[in-house]
């Protein structure tokens, strides 16, 4: 979620207890998940056991809810992603979010994790600490 919808949802649950937070979000999302195939309102296993949400739109360090997307009509988005992947090492600026991952991993938690590892390797390389101990890359042969 993003934009006005995310602000609305965070305003609904801001500073709620965990129980009130869950019940409010469950009520908000019920019209959507109740339309899924095999949903049975009498089967408690069809109800979410937990709902995780963040308040990034209130977080200055997260750019007040910053996110990356590709606008309709873009024709060279792959080049934009490549530039993000490279970062700006001369200015000590690297990007490690899931939107810089490969197409198979883009927008996934796995992509975010792997790109965090990649950015860490770039930082170590640029700062000249080539002997630093980092785990082997998942994308390189072992």
Work out the pLDDT band at 130, boundaries 50, 70, 90: low
Lowest mean pLDDT among 6-20, 81-95, 125-139: 125-139
Of 12, 42, 62, the position where a domain reaches its end is 62
Q: Which of 16, 45, 62 is the last residue of a domain?
A: 62
Q: Are residues 84 and 23 in the same domain?
A: no
Same domain, 52 and 87: no
Radius of gyration, alpha carbons of the chain: 20
Mean pLDDT across the chain: 79
* Residue 19: predicted pLDDT: 92
Give the residue numbers spanning the domain of 96: 70-142
The tally of domains found in the chain comes to 2
Instruction: Quote the CA–CA distance of 121 and 95 in Å, as a whole number.
Output: 12
Residue 141 and residue 75 share a domain: yes
When pLDDT is cut at 50, 70 and 90, the band that residue 141 belongs to is very low
Express as a percent the part of the chain with pLDDT over 70. Answer: 80
Q: Which whole-number Å values give the CA distances from 57 to 4, 67, 112, in the listed order? A: 10, 10, 19
What would the pLDDT profile of 49-88 be if each residue is shown by its tens digit? 888 787 877 878 766 766 666 677 888 878 877 887 888 8
Residue after which a domain boundary falls, among 37, 62, 87: 62
If asked whether residues 76 and 104 sit together in one domain, one would say yes
| Residue 85: per-residue pLDDT | 80
């Amino acid at each position: 979620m993003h934009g006005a919808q995310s602000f609305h949802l965070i305003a609904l649950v801001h500073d709620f207890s965990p129980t009130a937070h869950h019940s409010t979000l469950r009520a908000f999302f019920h019209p959507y998940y109740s339309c899924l195939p095999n949903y049975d309102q009498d089967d408690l296993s069809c109800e979410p056991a937990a709902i995780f949400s963040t308040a990034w739109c209130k977080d200055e360090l997260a750019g007040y809810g910053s996110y990356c997307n590709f606008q309709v009509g873009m024709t060279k988005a792959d080049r934009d992603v490549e530039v993000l992947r490279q970062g700006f090492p001369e200015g000590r600026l690297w990007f490690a979010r899931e939107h810089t991952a490969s197409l198979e991993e883009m927008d996934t938690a796995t992509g975010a994790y792997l790109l965090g590892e990649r950015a860490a390797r770039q930082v170590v390389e640029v700062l000249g600490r080539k002997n630093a101990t980092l785990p082997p890359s998942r994308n390189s042969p072992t």
